[in-house]
Structure 1
Amino acid sequence: MGDFKLTTVEEFEAATERLLETGKKVGADAWQYRVKNQTPHCKFGEQGICCRICSMGPCRITPKAPRGICGCDVHGIVARNYLKFTAGGAATHSDHGREICHTLYCTDPNGAYKVKDPEKLIRIAKEWGVETEGKDIYDLAHEMALKALEEYGKPFGNQNFIKRTPQHTQDLWKAQEVAPRAIDREVSSSLHMTHMGCSSKPEALIRQSLRVGLADGWGGSMAGTEFSDVLFGTPKPIDTEANLGVMNAENVNIVVHGHDPSLSEMVCEYADDPEMIAYAKEMGAKGITVSGVCCTSNEVAMRRGIPMAGNFLQQENVVLTGACEAIVVDVQCIFPALGPLSKCFHTKFITTSPIAQMPDSEFIQFSPENADENAKAIVKLAIENFKNRKPELVHIPDMKQKATVGYSLEAIVKVLDGVTNSQVDTLGTTKPLIECITSGVLRGAVAMVGCNNPKVRPDTAHIELMKKLIANDIIVVASGCSAQAAAKAGLMDKRAKDLCGAGLKRVCELADIPPVLHMGSCVDISRMMNLVAELAKDSGLNISQLPVVGCAPEWMSEKAVSIGNYVVATGIDTFLGVDPYVSGSSEVAELLTGGIRDWVEAAYTVETDIEKLVDKMIDRIEEKRAAIGI
């Protein structure tokens, strides 16, 4: 392996401790301290057995009080809470997709936003039955943007993208009444079902949880992914770096954070502008460094090679370096703590969306219509703040790893064509990957997704699970904060192939890929759904028969529950390392871990012991292999 070695979680933690020492000097707060103040957590909340949907309560279920004031039992309360949680996540991801569709409508050949992948736009248009012949590409973009926006409120029918699934899956969803209708309708129906005096039957509430999740995965999230590709380019493998060491003490440091690439793309454009770079030098810096946190980071990394400073629980660390001139945020997973923390340093905390307004921030409202002027203003504000930096507070950990990112479905198909000897016959299909699995070269695949969660030693679960999976010839595709955990550790460096079993190592060598493939942000889990759909169609198997499982070992948000529901409902067994707040109801827990298999051919496994979790995933993959005779 030469000089290559993984970065350990212990090294991550030592770097964080050093940054927290700086924070103590200026009286800064941090999540590590707040966790202690919130421990122990409310046990009623953790079990999902409290209800506050009307003002007769709040009610909480105990042996002495087995029903709420309205008479709802523990199973109804837990199921209602679970559906509300899912609906919140589906609304969030889908609203992201809506903003991307709006941005697509604002494209103009002379404007801030242009169509960078016209071929993909034409392909989606044909898929949706839209005439493309002889049309100006921008006229087509505006037409498709409107059609995509109609998916949110269409009065009849189902989501267009579900036609990408095998017919078996479509028939199953229809029979089980979980095929997603209009995106907004599913969110609205979920909130209606959970209103006081409506559904309290666990089966009905969990069925709707699957349906609203599918409206996210095969609706809003897929729109966010597909039309982002049209706008900003479909990702291809590109080299970048990850961890806090990507920040540059001699440069103006701008950190982008959140989930919507419309803002970060424009900030990157202006940070590269020669005029802005000259201005930074005039202000005493040597240049401008843009780096990212969370899923916005994934978006610009996979299209531009912008380095990844960290994932969810590192967002405060970028400020604690003392070298961050501006942390610019859009929506989702943003700590309100960044406001008061930034005031302890010279950092500008800039919020840009009416959806995510926070105290102690500078609000610069961003929209596709004013993208140019406001992105330029943000970059200029950061540059002018460089002179306010306090050198005695600057400490950037000398810690970073190389990573190859940007494995869209299109990129995966292209690189895996080189693995088998049947290139001519399989060009443009997933058959090379199928052949690797059926021949035993690969045992299967795991889709690793999700967040960080202080309930799990941050990043440990992601990294340790991945290491054991690749050692067992199981390839990992990763998105969101899970992908950044892999990148920070070095698992997205092509040299990490030496950590693999002999079969996966050979695939990595032939295809020139790392053993953990970066598929993008959390909305880009829709790419994984497209991948398994294509694998199923190319292999002649049902999705549920493929030796593929999903895993979210450190999930924490409503979005993650929505994702879990659409992954399971698509037919992929999903493994969780954090309990989804349903343990208070034996009926709901049994439905999610077994009963729903009768509906969608997959279910959840919850296991908080990480060693047991990975063993259960491997066992499930081997069971699937045996069931189809490989």
Structure 2
Amino acid sequence: MSCLDCSQCSTDPCATEMLKIAEAEGIGTAWSRAAAQEPQCGFGTTGLCCRICMKGPCRIDPFGNGPQYGICGADRDTIVARHMVRMMASGAAAHSEHGRHIALALLHLSKGELKDYEIRDVEKLHAIAARHKVAVEGRELSEIVRDLADLTLWDFQNQDYSAPVNWLAASLPAPRLEKLGKLGLLPHNIDASVAQSMSRTHLGCDADPTNLILGGLRVALADLDGEMLATELSDALFGTPTPTVTRANLGVIKRDAINIAVNGHNPLLSEIICDIAADMEDEAKAVGATGFNVIGVCCTGNEVMVRRGIPLATNYLSQELPILTGALDAMILDVQCIMPSLPRVAECFHTQIITTDKQNKIAGATHVDFEEHHASENAKEILKLALSAYKRRDPKRINIPNLQNEAIVGFSTEAIVAALGKVNAEDPLAPLVDNIVAGNIQGAVLFAGCNNTKTQQDSAYLELAKALAARDILVLATGCAAGAYAKAGLMTQEATNTYAGPGLKAVLTAVGEAAGLGGPLPLVLHMGSCVDNSRAVSLATALANKLGKDISDLPIVASAPEAMTEKAVVIGTWAVTLGLPTHLGTMPPVAGSQVVADLLTTTAKELVGGYMMVETDPALAGEKIFAAIQERRAGLGLPTATWGPKAPASGLARM
């Protein structure tokens, strides 16, 4: 394994400490494997390599000196467009499969078949029912749950092309629905959208890059539908997040406890693990531990963090590193963003790696089939494996970094509106709107996406958030972006006082104090896991409806500074389709086609109002995001600002 400069791998001191251990002991990590891949294939990086059929792989010479067509005759624009659409379809399949799992659990619950689950937020369930025009008055809860499960599953089954999926139709502003409908972009069926995307990109099918990308926009909206239903139904099932104080980074691992990490994206298992771990405390103490210590990794970690206050150990790219502490007894895996390397790293320690989904197994891991009908029994079996692993610990190898930061998390759309309601109970959104108009808040940015070894871990997130907050931009975050901010201590009141511009600081302080926090809201508002990007859409929709505008009119930008997965590609695409300027800090594989690049930037802006802007330099990205917000402010007739030192605020509006 090649020697790494660990300080250049991550901005997280815990990560660099663990990477030094890995380097010293010859244990491979994502960073060392990335170094071994250099130099990466330039054809693949630019999207000019095609492997759709077995005549290839074919590649296009980006400089025009070599082949300009694949064996079938596909040119660079067709090859790049097909590749991008396939990435979008895969991302949509991942998110929507998560949502299907939740919807099916609700269906089984409505029939009385799941003894370990219940509707924990009846008020949220009733709100969902009202939005979908499902009757509530005088009905049993199980009947309401059944109707919602049926209409949700219809989004995977409907064969009427003229009827858009239920969740989008019930959730987006009327002007946006009208625009998307006229363009033929509203999907009628999630599964059909994914299947059609794969079909049209097969050899001998769609070869028009414009038509292909329009199909990509459609499957991206199917992804958003899957995210919406997953988030909303999970809230009804497990509880809608409210502000809670917890902690983040590897220091949350405890030397004297049985440490179990939940990793992946689906809360159906992790919620039960938390319940059963509390019930099995005596068994943990019987083997000499103080109890079970459940910690989170990646988006499953975010799910239990925002609902239960479970501490977060780390985000995607550093998911191998908790094992290197020598004190992690088990890592429980469900689906998505899970590294196949985990069992190999665990071979060097006592840690038990446990897969739980029959469609997501890893060679070398122990598999326990998780089924909701036997959830508590499955959880007990898993926790007993962790108990057994704890007995095999080597105390001499324990090395837990002494760093963890406080994090105030749990800012669902409902929680944000409730906090604003403490300022103005009759019109909760008024304080936000009025302060945007006054310029105390210039706009908002949603940070989403992953980590990528092409970027120093978390660095772009941190630099951008600090720079934009200093210029009075409200910062929201989900997924691994949220994990970056939690680990670094930016989800605290102290961070608001340190980094927020005067206008933003005044607003966050007024709202936080009114909400009973005894100080400001945190600098970055944690909205949940990566499927919970839909919460930001809900908030934007509420603002658009209040103003009688479309989402594309609002001073809101999406940003994925370390984009990495196919899910990130499809999230960015639906953000564009909703009308949002969308920043990517990683170059997607489109550089080989100017036609596709133009479609996602200039043409998209003309067609749907949103557009992609790629900028790998965080300093320049901050300026571009700020400029995009100012463009939207100007379009609304609001006063604009320039990038530079922030002038003192003129005073709060209606606070």
Q: Considering the TM-score relative to the shorter chain, is it more than 0.5?
A: yes
- Partner in structure 1 of residue 262 of structure 2: 256
| Aligned pairs for 1:468-487 within 5 A | 468-487=467-486
1:243/1:308 contact within 8 Å kept: yes
1:509 aligns with 2:509: yes
- TM-score, normalising length from structure 2? 0.92
Residue 591 of structure 1 aligns with an amino acid whose one-letter code is: L
Residue 203 of structure 1 aligns with an amino acid whose one-letter code is: T
Q: Pick closer, same or farther for the CA change 1:323–1:120 going to 2, 3 Å.
A: same
| Aligned pairs for 1:270-285 within 5 A | 270-273=276-279, 276-285=280-289
Aligned with 1:71 (options 73, 77, 84) = 73
Whole-angstrom CA distance in 1 between matches of 2:421 and 2:133: 29
**Structure 2 unmatched ranges of 5 or more:** 1-6, 513-520, 639-655
Deviation at 1:436, TM superposition (A): 1.4
Aligned with 1:81 (options 70, 80, 83) = 83
1:578 aligns with 2:577: no
- Partner in structure 1 of residue 645 of structure 2: none
Query: What is the number of residues matched between the two proteins?
Result: 615
Identity of paired residues, percent? 43
- Partner in structure 2 of residue 42 of structure 1: 41
- Partner in structure 1 of residue 361 of structure 2: 357
Deviation at 1:381, TM superposition (A): 1.6
Whole-angstrom CA distance in 1 between matches of 2:186 and 2:382: 43
Deviation at 1:619, TM superposition (A): 1.1
| Aligned pairs for 1:184-333 within 5 A | 184-217=191-224, 219-273=225-279, 276-333=280-337
Structure 2 residue matching 1:309: 3-state secondary structure: strand
Q: Pick closer, same or farther for the CA change 1:12–1:612 going to 2, 3 Å.
A: closer
1:346/1:385 contact within 8 Å kept: yes
- Partner in structure 1 of residue 168 of structure 2: 162
Whole-angstrom CA distance in 2 between matches of 1:364 and 1:533: 41
| Aligned pairs for 1:493-532 within 5 A | 493-498=492-497, 499-512=499-512, 513-532=521-540
Deviation at 1:10, TM superposition (A): 9.1
Whole-angstrom CA distance in 2 between matches of 1:270 and 1:338: 24
- Partner in structure 2 of residue 491 of structure 1: 490
Q: Pick closer, same or farther for the CA change 1:25–1:65 going to 2, 3 Å.
A: closer
- Partner in structure 2 of residue 3 of structure 1: none
Whole-angstrom CA distance in 1 between matches of 2:503 and 2:311: 30
Deviation at 1:313, TM superposition (A): 1.2
Whole-angstrom CA distance in 2 between matches of 1:408 and 1:115: 18
The C-alpha deviation readout for 1:443-477, integer Å capped at 9, x for no partner, is 11001111000101110000110001111110111
Deviation at 1:366, TM superposition (A): 0.4
- Partner in structure 2 of residue 564 of structure 1: 572
The C-alpha deviation readout for 1:468-494, integer Å capped at 9, x for no partner, is 111111011100000010111111012
Whole-angstrom CA distance in 1 between matches of 2:602 and 2:305: 38
1:115/1:138 contact within 8 Å kept: no
Deviation at 1:23, TM superposition (A): 3.3
- Partner in structure 2 of residue 455 of structure 1: 454
1:116 aligns with 2:120: yes
Larger deviation: 292-301 or 134-143? 134-143
1:9/1:460 contact within 8 Å kept: no
Residue 472 of structure 1 aligns with an amino acid whose one-letter code is: R
Whole-angstrom CA distance in 2 between matches of 1:472 and 1:488: 23
Deviation at 1:599, TM superposition (A): 1.6
1:555 aligns with 2:556: no
CA RMSD, 1 decimal: 1.5
Q: Pick closer, same or farther for the CA change 1:435–1:10 going to 2, 3 Å.
A: farther
| Aligned pairs for 1:68-147 within 5 A | 68-107=70-109, 108=112, 111-147=115-151
1:504/1:515 contact within 8 Å kept: no
Structure 2 residue matching 1:236: 3-state secondary structure: coil
The C-alpha deviation readout for 1:201-235, integer Å capped at 9, x for no partner, is 11111111111001111x11111101000100011
- Partner in structure 2 of residue 589 of structure 1: 597
The C-alpha deviation readout for 1:345-396, integer Å capped at 9, x for no partner, is 0000000001211011000010111111001111122122211001111111
Whole-angstrom CA distance in 1 between matches of 2:52 and 2:464: 38
Structure 1 residue matching 2:527: 3-state secondary structure: strand
The C-alpha deviation readout for 1:398-434, integer Å capped at 9, x for no partner, is 1111011111111111112344xxx24304xx33211
Residue 553 of structure 2 aligns with an amino acid whose one-letter code is: Q
Whole-angstrom CA distance in 1 between matches of 2:148 and 2:284: 40
Deviation at 1:591, TM superposition (A): 0.9
Deviation at 1:243, TM superposition (A): 0.4
1:172 aligns with 2:179: yes
2:468/2:626 contact within 8 Å kept: yes
Structure 1 residue matching 2:406: 3-state secondary structure: strand
Whole-angstrom CA distance in 1 between matches of 2:91 and 2:9: 32
Deviation at 1:17, TM superposition (A): 3.6
The C-alpha deviation readout for 1:142-201, integer Å capped at 9, x for no partner, is 332122112112111111122322211111101111112100010011001101111111
Deviation at 1:20, TM superposition (A): 3.1
- Partner in structure 1 of residue 517 of structure 2: none
Residue 500 of structure 2 aligns with an amino acid whose one-letter code is: C
Structure 2 residue matching 1:272: 3-state secondary structure: helix
1:149 aligns with 2:150: no
The C-alpha deviation readout for 1:321-351, integer Å capped at 9, x for no partner, is 1100000010000000001111110000000
1:90/1:213 contact within 8 Å kept: yes
Deviation at 1:14, TM superposition (A): 4.3
Whole-angstrom CA distance in 1 between matches of 2:12 and 2:628: 33
Residue 128 of structure 2 aligns with an amino acid whose one-letter code is: I
1:628 aligns with 2:636: yes
Residue 505 of structure 1 aligns with an amino acid whose one-letter code is: K
Structure 1 residue matching 2:391: 3-state secondary structure: helix
Structure 2 residue matching 1:152: 3-state secondary structure: coil
Deviation at 1:245, TM superposition (A): 0.4
Q: Pick closer, same or farther for the CA change 1:50–1:10 going to 2, 3 Å.
A: closer
Structure 2 residue matching 1:78: 3-state secondary structure: helix
Deviation at 1:84, TM superposition (A): 0.3
Q: Pick closer, same or farther for the CA change 1:32–1:53 going to 2, 3 Å.
A: same
Larger deviation: 391-400 or 251-260? 391-400
- Partner in structure 1 of residue 515 of structure 2: none
The C-alpha deviation readout for 1:12-39, integer Å capped at 9, x for no partner, is 5543343234335654221121011111
Q: Pick closer, same or farther for the CA change 1:24–1:591 going to 2, 3 Å.
A: closer
The C-alpha deviation readout for 1:531-573, integer Å capped at 9, x for no partner, is 1111111112221111111100001000001101111101111
| Aligned pairs for 1:431-470 within 5 A | 431-470=430-469
- Partner in structure 1 of residue 4 of structure 2: none
2:240/2:412 contact within 8 Å kept: yes
1:22/1:393 contact within 8 Å kept: no
Larger deviation: 548-557 or 114-123? 114-123
Q: Pick closer, same or farther for the CA change 1:186–1:109 going to 2, 3 Å.
A: closer
Residue 259 of structure 1 aligns with an amino acid whose one-letter code is: H
1:404/1:492 contact within 8 Å kept: yes
Whole-angstrom CA distance in 2 between matches of 1:508 and 1:129: 35
Residue 94 of structure 1 aligns with an amino acid whose one-letter code is: S
1:500/1:515 contact within 8 Å kept: yes
